[in-house]
């Protein structure tokens, strides 16, 4: 695997800075709402009594800024649970909140990046984000995947601030 050296280097920094565990697993909704365990590099301390923004450690902030915390999801891709491109896998607790139309997002494998991520990520409302996911499923093509991949690369190097910890929970009322 081409990026295995980078993942090993990140894991080594975690081990040297005493941030354990290095990777965390979280149940997420996959294709056809089948649950799977999503892997990510941990970016937050275990101090759950602190506000979310205060729980992020400096190294975690760097990883989130460059989306390097997502690298372990390549394992999910290799296992066939995810794709490189597709709607982001959402929390299990959101399953009963989707409308019939929004549920169409689960007709494909979730992705590491997707149409909603390259069109605003957390800066757009849940309603718009989920509409992008449904649009992706309806327009699914290799050309669209290539376009999303190219825009993802451009966005990675655009030096925008990471605001993902400020995203509001989905309530189904958006």
State residue 52's pLDDT score: 66
With a pLDDT cut of 90, the percent of the chain lying above it is: 55
Higher-scoring residue by pLDDT: 171, 152: 152
154: how many CB neighbours lie within 10 A of its CB? Answer: 10
**Arithmetic mean of pLDDT, 111-140:** 94
90 confidence band (pLDDT: 50, 70, 90):
very high
Rounded to the nearest 5°, which phi and psi values hold at 24? -120, 155
Lowest mean pLDDT among 52-66, 93-107, 143-157: 52-66
Q: What is the pLDDT of residue 170?
A: 80
Mean of all residue pLDDT scores within the chain:
85
pLDDT at 163 over 90: no
Inter-residue contact 146 to 130 (CB < 8 Å):
no
58 backbone dihedrals φ, ψ, rounded to 5°: -55, -45
Over residues 2-61, the pLDDT tens digits come to: 667 666 676 666 666 656 678 889 999 999 999 999 999 888 777 676 676 666 777 777
- Does 165 have pLDDT greater than 60? no
This model's pTM is above 0.85: no
What residues does each domain of the chain span? 4-165
Q: Could you identify the residue written with the tokens 């958006």?
A: 174
DSSP string, 113-172: E-TTGGGTGGGS-HHHHHHHHHHHHHH--HHHHHHHHHHHHHHHTS-PPP-GGGPPPP-S
Over residues 54-80, the mean pLDDT reads 84
Mean pLDDT, rounded, for 124-134: 95
């Amino acid at each position: 695997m081409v990026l295995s050296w980078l993942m090993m280097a990140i894991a080594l920094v975690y081990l040297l800075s005493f941030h354990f565990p290095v990777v965390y697993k979280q149940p997420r909704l996959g294709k056809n709402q089948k649950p799977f365990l999503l892997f990510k590099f941990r970016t937050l301390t275990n101090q759950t009594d602190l506000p979310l923004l205060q729980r992020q450690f400096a190294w975690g902030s760097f990883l989130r800024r460059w989306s390097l915390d997502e690298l372990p999801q390549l394992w999910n891709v290799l296992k066939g649970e995810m794709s490189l491109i597709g709607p982001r896998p959402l929390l299990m607790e959101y399953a009963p909140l989707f409308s019939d139309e929004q549920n169409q997002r689960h007709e494909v494998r979730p992705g590491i990046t997707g149409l909603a991520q390259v069109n605003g990520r957390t800066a757009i409302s849940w309603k718009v984000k989920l509409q992008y996911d449904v649009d992706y499923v309806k327009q699914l093509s290799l050309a669209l995947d290539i376009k999303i991949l190219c825009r993802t690369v451009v966005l990675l190097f655009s030096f925008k601030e990471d605001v993902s910890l400020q995203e509001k929970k989905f309530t189904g009322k958006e």
